[in-house]
Amino acid sequence: MSFRLITHKDIPAYQALLHSAYQATTQLGIHFAAATVTQSQIADHIDANAVYLFEKEGDLLSTLSIRFPWGNNPGPYGLPHLGWFATAPQYKGKGYGNALWDFVEQQILINQLKLPAVTLGTAANHPWLAQTYINRGYKKIGQANLTPDHTTLYFEKILNHKNYTEWEKGVINNEKNKQVTVRSFIN
């Protein structure tokens, strides 16, 4: 068993995993993009984001994407944003999704990228996903009505409190600088 970044040769198996894993959510009347994503859309997704896989003997067990603020589909808060988390239905309940999540969070987000925090979103009307993220230490920070079938709840997890404080200061200073620049330009 191993964790790794996805490659273009994985696209057909990755698409099959996403479609089968998100089928149950679609049956709840919640339509996430991953449920019907095309191979072309997947190629664009993996070219702009970090997509991690957990595999065993060539079978894809679970996947988790990190969307970056500078990518083609940034999260709403200027931080990396987790998405397209899925475990193949035949492997659910065996801990593979949790193992991948723990690997990405600890080894990639904290140890490699040194992120101050990360965000994610899920459907408010999903029966258990919000509670799953809360149990993993995520806190609700907002919501938006992006699609007609559900309200998206946004969550954040602070990974490094010192870096988070510095990041917040930078965000506030950037907003102040934008206001000064706009005022200077107008005058």
Domain that holds residue 141: 2-186
pLDDT recorded at residue 1: 84
**pLDDT for residue 11 is more than 90:** yes
What pairs with residue 55 in β-bridges?
2, 60
Q: Per the structure, how many domains does the chain have? A: 1
- For 22-38, the pLDDT digits (tens) are 998 888 888 888 889 99
pLDDT recorded at residue 187:
40
Q: Which of these, 23, 115, 16, lies nearest to 75 by C-alpha position?
A: 115
Q: Residues 141-158: pLDDT tens digits? A: 999 888 777 889 999 999
Who's near 160: CB < 8 A, 6+ residues apart? 110, 114, 115, 116, 117
User: pLDDT tens, 69-108?
Assistant: 998 889 999 999 999 999 999 999 999 999 999 999 999 9
CA 174/CA 183 separation, integer angstroms:
14
CATH code assigned at 21: 3.40.630.30
Is residue 134 classed as helix, strand or coil in its secondary structure?
helix
Rounded to whole angstroms, the Cα distance separating 17 from 63 reads: 8
pLDDT attached to residue 172: 62
User: And the tokens for 26?
Assistant: 């679609």
Q: Is there a contact between 155 and 129 (Cβ–Cβ < 8 Å)?
A: no
Q: What percent of the chain has pLDDT over 90?
A: 70
> Is residue 179 pLDDT above 60, yes or no?
no
Could you give phi then psi for residue 76, rounded to 5 degrees? -85, -5
> In terms of pLDDT, which residue wins out, 180 or 36?
36
Average pLDDT, the chain: 89
178 pLDDT exceeds 90? no
